[in-house]
Structure 1
Amino acid sequence: MNTLYPLEKNLKPLKTDQQSSNTIRFEKLKRHSEMIAALGSGLIVLIAYFLMPTMPKTSIILYLLAFVMGGFVKAKEGIETLVQEKEIDVNLLMIIAAIGAAAIGYWLEGAVLIFIFSLSGALESYTEAKSERDLSKLMKMKPETARVVDENGVEREVKIEQLQEGDLLIIRPGERIAADGIVQEGFSSVEQAMITGESMPAEKELGDEVYAGTMNGSGSLIVKVTRAGEDSVFAKIIRHIEQARNEVPASQTRIERIEKVYAKAILSITVLLLFLPHYLLDWSWSETVYRAMVFLVVASPCALVASIMPAVLSAISSGARKGILFKSGRQLELLSDVKVIAFDKTGTLTKGKPVVTDFIPAQGMDSHELLTALASIESLSEHPIAKAIVQKAQTEGIRLSRPAHLQAITGLGVEAEYLGQRWRVGKPKMFVQITNEIQELVQGLEMEGKTTILAERAGQIVGVVALRDTLRDEANTMVQQLKKMGLKVVMLTGDQEVTAKTIAKEAGIDQVYSNLLPEDKVKAVKELRQHYGKVAMIGDGVNDAPALATANVGVAMGGAGSDVALETADLVLMNDELSKIPQAIRLGKRTQRIVKQNMVFALLVICSLILANFLQEMTLPFGVIGHEGSTLLVILNGLRLLR
């Protein structure tokens, strides 16, 4: 199957070690440039402070250098906002305050203001840069080429963009998988933590699904492409992370809108304070100008502006590491206020695949013989029930034979000839003559929420098979956690009432809506919103997409979810673990709690400093420390969410 390629085809221009080393150093320097400038300005301020008594002129030159080094980035941002948007922002306010302090002889205070302001700005930039680096790391995991194997076993290398559904890829040991697909040949372990959150490599064999961007282990695999390019789960993760990073939460938008008005008001009040106290309160000119500068420093909304985005970006990054993919920061706000959690049943609360729960042969019928016959007849079918029966036979090591004259009866079952006898396998309504004993048995099984299948040989019922979609292992624990958090948990399903109530009882869910069409699920979500408040809807199928869009927060199961559900949802659970839902809600509540802490703290500090200034109890050094210190504290408080 392997074909040798000319060596020249794989040759690429290589940089020298020295060039690579220089490039790495430059990238590191560029990444840390804002922090280096901030710390550099702080060091210069310290040197200038000690030189002031003996070398005042040199000290002032150093203070000016500290102003330029620490304030250049923020001054540039402030001037750009003023020129391009005709708005005054907090950056410009701080630069004006620092220059004003220096103008009245407070060089040290002005320089310290610049230093701490630039330091807080560098910390904010680090927070934003982290999410960008996470995205860059993901982008580097994206292979550029893939090896396609044709029907003759000949390999050819193609670009990722050229891959199509149905292509066969060969994945060698240590290579990244180029597209989502199903294993056709081979056995290997695959590191797929970036997709599913699994800490250990997952073993992959015939029929298992693999994802683009994941790392193959020590074995070779032949993979049939199911999703390529922008349709792959990996591509969707990158797209959603970009979307979440760029979309600003509603609270941040409100703060930014207020900031523009607030900054103008502060600047206007400062201009008035430069004159009015002298005439109205008989303050000296020096005291008047001094208090105006202190007011400009302490009233600036730096801490308030920094209260939200560092915390939100930290929470999004933390969630992504756990396999909880937020499409925007807005969902963190909404999750914290959710009152109702609505679940789809099939594929969400349950595994989505029926399993045989009861296998009852008729009197005189051998159990092994019956299972062999049924599995052999169903082996040619792709129906989930047929697959479940075949799976049971395979787990018991039964060898299957191919039936003859197989004929499907639409919506009911199948007929076939097996070992010279005519067999019929299907739903009870497929059969006309059923004894009372069999009828009672079927009714009893269906009352337990199970689907029943009858087997008939030569006109006589010879067995009953019951199947049911089983609850996910973590479902009950997850529901109990949600209830302890004070949330109402409901089930919305298109399944029949008996089955729905049985699964709901096992999961610990009290309120069930059954027999729902997609439009009925939408109606149910609207009713829940009206009666209880904000609703989060969790689903995985195409039929769940309208309800996901209607809910305040739509949550999709990322591993098994349909493309429509994944695109419609606001939040994606990449590894299908229901236990992540309470985690996501706790993360949303914790984020909002930290944001509120930050905002209350910032407002209290600003109000306290302004009051102390008007009482002539606040000095400029303490004003600088109080104002900029509070900004640093709210940023660091937000960064706690990275843990």
Structure 2
Amino acid sequence: MSELAQSNIQNTRLYIVQKNKGLILTLLCLVSILLAWLFGTVQLVFLEILFYSLAYLSGGFQQAYDGLKTLIFEKDLDVDLLMVVAAIGAACIGYWMDGAILIFIFSLSNTLEGFTMEKTNKDITSIMNLRPEKATLIVENKEQTVSVSQLHKGDLILVRPGERIPADGVIVEGASAIDQSSITGESIPVDKTINDDVFAGTMNRQGALEISVSKLANDTILSKIIHLVQEAESELPPSQIFVEKFERIYARIVVCGALLLMVLPPFLLGWSWDNTIYRAMIFLVVASPCALVASIMPAFLSAISNAARQGLLFKGGIHLENLSRVTTVAFDKTGTLTEGKPKVTDVIPFNRYSNDELISLAGSLEKLSEHPISKAIVQFAEQKKCPLSPAADFQSTMGMGVSGKVNGIACVIGKMDFIHSNLNASQQTAVDQLENQGKTVIFVEADQQLIGIFAIQDTLRGNAKETVAQLKKAGIKTVMLTGDNHSSASAIARQAGVDHVYDQLLPEDKVTIIKKLTEQYGHVAMIGDGVNDAPALATATVGIAMGCAGSDVALETANVVLMGDDLSKIPKAVQLGKRTSRVIKQNVTFAIAVILVLITINFIGDINLPSGVISHESSTILVILSGLRLLR
């Protein structure tokens, strides 16, 4: 066997031992206790004490080290040190077995807690493994394997079936079904073809694709997800911060209480000194706030992990906690409640022109324009399979429209002020009806005669209406904030079913409205996607950004990122936040109740140290498992 292979095997063994060190030490503690008990039954006292000492050392060394470090450097007491002191105290008065059982169960509890926390962390951070390390770069029709970090904007990469896409980009050749569940939470692969956007970390299921890179490795949506996950893991919710501060104060109270129990009962209650010290050690154990401390963070991490799997990324537990208190949800309009892409909704031809003739003429001229409305008309013509002809003498007038010739016909397309024709009564009625519906009307003129109109509107997202209905059913008020004109805003608001609409707003106006809503109704969540939404996102109790459509500024400012832009996740997130709060309240109540019951039983004298340890540590494990329910 080569030296390299031997080295790899040795490194693997070291990794396994290091990863499972807690479990190994706990098992060593158990074996030592059993051997000590066996030697005690045959009166080999030296070996009995030796193996009990080994049990104390293997099961309690790490806890003692951590506790002393906290005491020396932070001048604070913690639960670890209390447990070790209680065990040593029991040994000092001859209760070696009781102290050893305390050390073993506490060590086992910490090991199980470590495994459960690793489970939640693994669920949250497993997405980091989706980032490919290598990419197939195409240079002068030749393939090169390069590191993803070496890719630049505009590079052409090849992605074969079964490979993960290494960078955000646009398909320039090929078509395939892309599994985007890692980014958007969609369970069904999405069909993608030329000019469609694709994301790093998603899986190419079928055809080979040539993709033009649009973002550097550190700017991809997957990289942003990883960054958000790291933020979520490090940021503690207020309730956890409070409990950790309370733990330090409480630990001092427990120590003072134990000291009093060591001194007063012989004088006040007539207890023996051995019994007094033993009861004080039990008090140290059962009064320790282990379960109380473990009531919160596992629950929050489990909930954040659950949300991440569904495409909803929280930047910390505090935002999940705040979301549970939200009474009002404010939606931006364009790109949030709506698709953010104008579409043709109505076509009305005039002067003996047919629908297809009008669409073909307009599509032919608009094909030369890059304006979003022009693209909407061209896309509509392509969907209707209307033939498009080459256009000549094309001119674009900013903010007004376009002009040119199609098959020798002089055409003008744009606003009413841009064309030369006048409207008759029936035409004006048709225009008024469309504008009252919040639609933008585009006029088409051929040889200075009005031949028809197009109605353009930004369409509502498919699940927007259902999302608003679910929020209202949950008792949450819904509003819409937009810079659009009143008619357009009102039309979308009616379709979505929101309670109230604020229109013609500047970014600073949105901030003012958010503050006003907060004063009136309490906690407010704001959902937006653009740079102009960033101030409002920062002002709201919880800012939620659209992950795919959202601007970089919005993503950085928001507290929560909605990957896949699926609004239906919002009611589920609110429900998850409320469920998390309920679970935490249940855990805290249970933990406090167990402590009070065990303290009471200890004073009555009907509990020994092993029973107290088992009851106390079992409550800790139960609250951790209770928190893990939120993974579902």
- TM-score normalised by the shorter chain: which range applies? over 0.9
Q: Please tell me whether residue 103 in structure 1 is matched to residue 92 in structure 2.
A: yes
Which residue matches 2:225? 237
Structure 2: where are the runs of 5+ without partners? none
Partner SS, residue 282 of structure 1? coil
What per-residue deviation string (whole Å, max 9, x for no partner) do you get for residues 135-167 of structure 1?
Answer: 6643333233333334x4344444333322222
Q: Please tell me whether residue 545 in structure 1 is matched to residue 545 in structure 2.
A: no
Larger displacement relative to structure 2 (134-143 or 288-297): 134-143
One-letter identity of the residue aligned with 2:556:
E
Larger displacement relative to structure 2 (139-148 or 94-103): 139-148
One-letter identity of the residue aligned with 1:373:
L
The CA distance in 2 between the partners of 1:225 and 1:612, in whole Å, is: 68
Partner SS, residue 319 of structure 1? helix
Q: How many residues of Structure 1 are paired with residues of Structure 2 in the alignment? A: 629
From 56, 60, 69, the equivalent of 1:71 is 60
Matches within 5 A, 1:112-191: 112-134=101-123, 137-150=126-139, 152-191=140-179
The CA deviation at 1:340 is 0.7
Contact 1:113 1:628 in 2 (8 A): no
Q: Evaluate the alpha carbon distance shift between residue 15 and residue 503 of structure 1 in structure 2; reply closer, same or farther with a 3 A threshold.
A: farther
The CA deviation at 1:443 is 1.0
The CA deviation at 1:336 is 1.0
Larger displacement relative to structure 2 (62-71 or 34-43): 34-43
From 479, 482, 503, the equivalent of 2:468 is 479
One-letter identity of the residue aligned with 1:277:
P
Contact 1:135 1:238 in 2 (8 A): no
Partner SS, residue 249 of structure 2? helix
Contact 1:378 1:386 in 2 (8 A): yes
The CA deviation at 1:250 is 1.2
Which residue matches 1:613? 602
Which residue matches 1:400? 388
Q: Evaluate the alpha carbon distance shift between residue 617 and residue 135 of structure 1 in structure 2; reply closer, same or farther with a 3 A threshold.
A: closer
From 246, 253, 266, the equivalent of 1:278 is 266
Which residue matches 1:415? 403
Partner SS, residue 274 of structure 1? helix
Q: Evaluate the alpha carbon distance shift between residue 221 and residue 556 of structure 1 in structure 2; reply closer, same or farther with a 3 A threshold.
A: same
What per-residue deviation string (whole Å, max 9, x for no partner) do you get for residues 311-365 of structure 1?
Answer: 1111111111111111111111111111111111111111111221111100311
The CA distance in 1 between the partners of 2:172 and 2:255, in whole Å, is: 69
Contact 2:350 2:451 in 1 (8 A): yes
Structure 1: where are the runs of 5+ without partners? 1-12
The CA deviation at 1:546 is 1.0
The CA deviation at 1:452 is 0.9
One-letter identity of the residue aligned with 1:550:
T
Which residue matches 1:10? none
What per-residue deviation string (whole Å, max 9, x for no partner) do you get for residues 196-246 of structure 1?
Answer: 112233332101111112233342222111111211101111111111111
Which residue matches 1:5? none
The CA distance in 2 between the partners of 1:21 and 1:216, in whole Å, is: 34
The CA deviation at 1:413 is 1.0
From 186, 192, 207, the equivalent of 1:198 is 186
The CA distance in 2 between the partners of 1:114 and 1:475, in whole Å, is: 55
Which residue matches 1:294? 282
Larger displacement relative to structure 2 (20-29 or 511-520): 20-29
Contact 1:495 1:516 in 2 (8 A): yes
C-alpha RMSD of matched pairs (Å): 2.2
Contact 1:127 1:313 in 2 (8 A): no
Which residue matches 2:450? 461
The CA deviation at 1:49 is 4.8
Which residue matches 2:337? 349
Partner SS, residue 405 of structure 2? strand
From 545, 566, 569, the equivalent of 2:558 is 569
Contact 2:481 2:503 in 1 (8 A): yes
Partner SS, residue 176 of structure 1? coil
From 441, 461, 465, the equivalent of 1:452 is 441
Contact 2:390 2:407 in 1 (8 A): no
Contact 2:124 2:305 in 1 (8 A): no
One-letter identity of the residue aligned with 1:38:
T
One-letter identity of the residue aligned with 1:444:
Q
Q: Evaluate the alpha carbon distance shift between residue 402 and residue 575 of structure 1 in structure 2; reply closer, same or farther with a 3 A threshold.
A: same
Larger displacement relative to structure 2 (27-36 or 74-83): 27-36
Which residue matches 1:310? 298
Q: TM-score, normalised by structure 2?
A: 0.94
The CA distance in 1 between the partners of 2:295 and 2:514, in whole Å, is: 33
Contact 2:414 2:444 in 1 (8 A): yes
Contact 2:343 2:456 in 1 (8 A): yes
Contact 1:332 1:592 in 2 (8 A): no
The CA distance in 2 between the partners of 1:550 and 1:126, in whole Å, is: 38
Contact 1:143 1:213 in 2 (8 A): yes
Partner SS, residue 214 of structure 2? strand
The CA deviation at 1:279 is 2.5
Larger displacement relative to structure 2 (592-601 or 35-44): 35-44
The CA distance in 2 between the partners of 1:203 and 1:81, in whole Å, is: 56
The CA distance in 2 between the partners of 1:575 and 1:536, in whole Å, is: 19
Which residue matches 2:428? 439
The CA distance in 2 between the partners of 1:33 and 1:185, in whole Å, is: 51
Which residue matches 1:80? 69
The CA distance in 1 between the partners of 2:193 and 2:11, in whole Å, is: 42
From 481, 487, 502, the equivalent of 2:491 is 502
The CA distance in 1 between the partners of 2:8 and 2:426, in whole Å, is: 81
Contact 2:415 2:441 in 1 (8 A): yes
Contact 1:120 1:635 in 2 (8 A): no
One-letter identity of the residue aligned with 1:97:
A
Which residue matches 2:236? 248
One-letter identity of the residue aligned with 1:548:
L
The CA deviation at 1:523 is 0.8
The CA distance in 2 between the partners of 1:100 and 1:210, in whole Å, is: 63
Partner SS, residue 575 of structure 1? helix
The CA deviation at 1:572 is 0.9
The CA distance in 2 between the partners of 1:60 and 1:374, in whole Å, is: 95
Which residue matches 1:268? 256
Contact 1:348 1:538 in 2 (8 A): yes
Q: Please tell me whether residue 634 in structure 1 is matched to residue 627 in structure 2.
A: no
One-letter identity of the residue aligned with 2:527:
I
Larger displacement relative to structure 2 (68-77 or 222-231): 68-77
Matches within 5 A, 1:359-374: 359-374=347-362
Which residue matches 2:19? 31
From 312, 317, 322, the equivalent of 2:310 is 322
The CA distance in 2 between the partners of 1:522 and 1:622, in whole Å, is: 58
